[in-house]
Amino acid sequence: MSSAADLARLIAESRRLVVFTGAGISTESGIPDFRSPGGVWSKMKPIYFQEFVASEEKRREAWDRAFTGRAGWVGREPNSGHHAVARLVASGKCSSVITQNVDNLHQASGVPAERVIELHGNASYASCLECGDRHELEELKVLYEATGDLPACRRCSGIVKTATISFGQSMPAGPMARAEAETLACDLFLVLGSSLVVYPAAGFPLLAKRNGARLAIVNREATELDPYADLVLHDEIGPVMSRAAPAE
């Protein structure tokens, strides 16, 4: 039976660690996951990217969700798992955090933004689909509530969308390339709170393993990649990481 002490040993023996996080690390902050009973998609139907672009009605529905916080993706505080990861980054042990989450909690916990590789974007701000200009949600909300007009880019008048990767939207080439490079450079790949069923992101743990890195998985439920891992813990992430990467 593996323990947090075993994980601490793997971390201590590592020279270059990559952390890969999924929804499970943020459920302990009160952010719902996507696919489990009671998760986001059991309460509301996802809006596909093509629908958002083509339909003003779908864009309005998406912005109503964003401005009311119905999806629950933002507005929470980092938990002990996020802070443990931040300590690993600050120590120089962890080179990067690859995340499937859109909640901005790694940055909020103190991980420099340039060390966080967001595969599915970020729900805490918006961007123009035409020119890429960044827009802050609070500013967009004020205008939306005052006028009822859908957000448009102040620079080019293009369609503005929360900076998340929606169903049907292409994965971001830059973050995917960075994630692959970091995966191939690490000697320990640590998965925290991912069911490892969403590809292509879920391919990174096996890529690391096949490249000679050790693989550790901490997740409440079993994953399909558990048999390939050097260490598996079916436990809560915050308590495990607080013991494996304690504050000095």
DSSP 89-158: HHTTSEEEEEE---S-HHHHTT--GGGEEESSEEEEEEEETTT--EEEHHHHHHHHHHH-PPPB-TTT--
Show the CA angle centred on residue 159, arms to residues 158 and 162, nearest 5°: 130
Span 15-26, average pLDDT: 96
- 34 — pLDDT class (breaks 50, 70, 90): low
Task: Give the residue numbers of the binding site for Zn(2+).
Answer: 128, 131, 153, 156
- Bigger pLDDT: 76 vs 90: 90
Span 109-137, average pLDDT: 96
Q: pLDDT value at position 37?
A: 55
- 55 — pLDDT class (breaks 50, 70, 90): very high
- Is the model's pTM score more than 0.75? yes
Task: Give the residue numbers of the binding site.
Answer: 128, 131, 153, 156
pLDDT of residue 60 exceeding 80: yes
Whole-number Å distance between alpha carbons of 20 and 31: 18
Q: Which helix (H) or strand (E) holds 217?
A: strand 214-218
Enumerate domains of the chain plus CATH numbers: 1-31+78-120+171-247 (3.40.50.1220), 35-72+121-164 (3.30.1600.10)
Nearest partner of 241 among 222, 223, 217, judged by Cα: 217
Catalytic residue among 82, 83, 106, 120: 120
| Cβ atoms of 10 and 231 closer than 8 Å | yes
**What 3-state DSSP class applies to 236?**
coil
Whole-number Å distance between alpha carbons of 13 and 6: 11
pLDDT of residue 106 exceeding 80: yes
Known catalytic residue at 120: yes
State what percent of residues in the chain have pLDDT above 70: 93
Whole-number Å distance between alpha carbons of 194 and 181: 20
Strand 214-218's sheet: what is its strand order? 116-118, 94-99, 17-21, 188-192, 214-218, 231-233
Torsion sign (Cα): 95, 216, 172, 45: negative
Span 39-66, average pLDDT: 87
Average pLDDT value for the chain: 93
Please write the tens of the pLDDT for every residue from 174-224. 999 999 999 999 999 999 999 999 888 899 999 999 999 999 999 999 999
Stretch among 35-44, 114-123, 147-156 having the lowest mean pLDDT? 35-44
Span 140-168, average pLDDT: 96
Whole-number Å distance between alpha carbons of 173 and 83: 28
